[in-house]
Structure 1
Amino acid sequence: MKRQKTSGYIKVLSLSTCIIALYITTQLFTFSSTPTPTIDNTPTFKNNYSIFSLKIPDSIHFANEKVPIEKHWVRESLDRELLVNTYWQSQTVLFIKRCNRYFPIIEPILKEQGIPDDFKYLAVIESG
């Protein structure tokens, strides 16, 4: 019985990690002011392009709950999701397009039902 309870907790935590990673990734890309590379600046782009891990904040809250990122396995899961969603750019662009289309529909419903706004990211992840 205890094993099932722990398994359910891990599934919920994994889903939460995915949601948080998507949230952070969409925030990074939605407000980016980096110009799109063109044929004229392609060499500059290639010379300056680098891959790195994103900095994980010291504390994160999701749906008004503190995420236990002090636990190594939670931090590693979040780091993995951030890397996947940051560098799988085609999927990230699709997520952002869906956000812009569906968030105006979802947000008022969540507010009306008294559900934290963070849950709008669950719809994007589940539809992905």
Structure 2
Amino acid sequence: MHTADDFIEHLALEQHVEGGYYRSSYRSETAFDQTRALWSSIYFLLRTGEVSHFHRLTADEMWYFHAGQSLTIYMIDPDGVLTTAQLGLNLAAGERPQFLVPKGCIFGSAMNQDGFSLV
């Protein structure tokens, strides 16, 4: 069984300005504009007590669950409506292993239980 520290060390994750730890795993060579790749992928890890602070998205983000405990994604749409999604592997409880967070919303995430979540 891997721990949060194992993933942080072996995936060379760094602290993220919005909370948790991350590392880019891929950036396409094709550009969306002069400052952004057409698409990219990251590893992101939260531990007990950490959150991904609310921020507005300028592009869609696809989230994939990899290991640990489930987490909640909180989204506020442009009309101010709050919705949530459960990211994890307990399908019977409504969790999903992947979820699209749409551009234009303000969103953040938090752990559902003690431990860690690697997404």
TM-score, length of structure 1 as denominator length: 0.23
Structure 1 or 2: more helix by fraction? 1
Q: Which has the higher strand share?
A: 2
Please tell me whether Structure 1 or Structure 2 has the larger radius of gyration of its CA atoms: 1
Structure number with higher relative contact order (C-alpha < 8 Å, ≥ 6 residues apart): 1
